[in-house]
Amino acid sequence: MNRLVFRITIFLMSFGAIYAQDSRFTQTMEAFKTAFNAKDYDALFELTSEYMQTQINYLTLEAVMIQFHDAYGNLNSYKFVEQKDDSAIYIGQFDNGKQRIGMALNEKDLLAGFRFLPTEDADKTAKMERNKTVMSLPFKGDWFVFWGGDTKAQNYHVVSAAQKNAFDIVKLGAGNKSHKGNGTRNEDYYAFGQPLYAACDAVVIKVITGIEDNKPGNRDQVNILGNAVVLKTENDEYIFYAHFKKGSIAIKEGDTVVRGQFLGSCGNSGNSSEAHIHFHIQDGPNQLNSIGIKCYFDQVIVNGELKEEYSPVRLEKISAPNN
């Protein structure tokens, strides 16, 4: 279950001496700005070198740019910061904020590396520290917290601003394994097909469907959330459910759901290696410019003991009272 972070991971070339701005970087930035604002992903892909294209395919580039444009809007202007050998940094002013833009060019002036980076003043705090809305566990029966908590040892999500308080939760069976047999089929996993429910009263603001479930061990790096549901509460908390089973989501955007209402079935779609539920709350609708908030459930049975107002952590067996 790799980090659910939507980003280009192409690294920039090594830094050396700092030079003044090179006109070829200006030309590339202008071409990028034009294509990005026009949502011309073919033109963006043509700006990349053969090397970069071996590291990131067209669909991944398109998905990243779409998500970034949805979060930040158009690139209105950019300011040169520094150039180091064949790499340069700019600060881009977008409709919805600033981002640093790092790029590396090859000998043909094509992009050998590219990434969006937060600006120095982008260290935002969440609009709230924890959920105000009363939450119940989004499932029935006994489950197991694979990732959850505040430290990196407990929860690899902590490195992501939006998902830093996320949970990855699986279902265990005989021998405390998450699957029966050799685990080569989704149907071997105890979580696969299990019903998932609304943790609270909310409005459905986003539904993603039509994503195939992965073969166990594989991941979809393009459709990161897979089949997914995003709920918004009256307290402006945005609840993300990811990795539903294809074809199982039973609600649609604009619906109002009540606490305990069936949403869909647990699956293995998106950036997921086996059937599990990914659940997190953030303070805004978009993962690129929102901050995760800590989730406390009103009542949780933890390793057989009832706890109230509790946020589960890694390696705990949890269930809801009166399952």
> Quick check: is 132 in a domain?
no
Residue 122 is predicted with a pLDDT of 47
Question: Would 226 be classed as within a structural domain?
Answer: yes
What domain range is 184 assigned to? 143-319
Give residue 321's pLDDT: 93
109 DSSP 8-state letter? S
- 233 and 199 share a domain? yes
Question: 113 and 234, same structural domain?
Answer: no
71 within domain boundaries: yes
- Answer with the residue of higher pLDDT: 51 or 35: 35
* Average pLDDT of the chain, as a whole number: 90
Residue 266: pLDDT band by 50, 70, 90 thresholds? Answer: very high
**Backbone angles phi and psi of 33, in degrees to 5:** -55, -45
Is residue 251 located within the same domain as residue 296? Answer: yes
Distance in angstroms (rounded) separating the CA atoms of residues 131 and 128:
7
Would you state the pLDDT for residue 320? 95
Task: Give which of 104, 103, 36, 29 is closest to 69, Cα–Cα.
Answer: 36
Does residue 29 lie in a domain region?
Answer: yes
Residues 48 and 192 occupy one common structural domain: no
The answer to the question of residue 127 being in a domain is no
pLDDT at 117: 73
152 and 290 fall within a common domain:
yes
Is the pLDDT at 16 greater than 80? The verdict is: no
The CATH number for 270's domain is 2.70.70.10
- Is 24 in the same domain as 112? yes
Instruction: Write the pLDDT tens digit of every residue in 211-248.
Output: 999 999 999 877 889 999 999 999 999 999 999 999 99
> Is the whole model's pTM more than 0.85, yes or no?
no
Whether the Cβ atoms of residue 267 and residue 248 lie closer than 8 Å to each other: yes
**Shared domain check, 150 and 113:** no
- 165-211 pLDDT, tens digit per residue, is 999 999 999 999 999 999 999 999 999 999 999 999 999 999 999 99
Q: Are residues 260 and 163 located together in one domain of the fold?
A: yes
pLDDT at 129: 93
- Is position 137 within any domain? no
Instruction: Based on the fold, state whether residues 168 and 312 are members of the same structural domain.
Output: yes
Q: Is residue 187 part of a domain?
A: yes
Total domain count, the chain: 2
Domain of residue 74, CATH code: 3.10.450.50
Residue 173 lies inside a defined structural domain of this protein: yes
The mean per-residue pLDDT over the stretch 98-110 comes to 91
Question: Of 212, 191, 210, which Cα lies nearest the Cα of 279?
Answer: 191
Residues 169 and 245 in one domain: yes
Average pLDDT over residues 242-264: 98
159-162: list long-range contacts, CB under 8 Å, 24+ apart: 159/3, 159/5, 160/3, 160/4, 160/5, 160/292, 161/124, 161/290, 161/291, 161/292, 162/280, 162/282, 162/287, 162/288, 162/290, 162/291, 162/292
Quick one: 198 and 59 in the same domain? no
Q: Model confidence at 118, in pLDDT bands (50, 70, 90)?
A: low
Residues 150 and 194 in one domain: yes
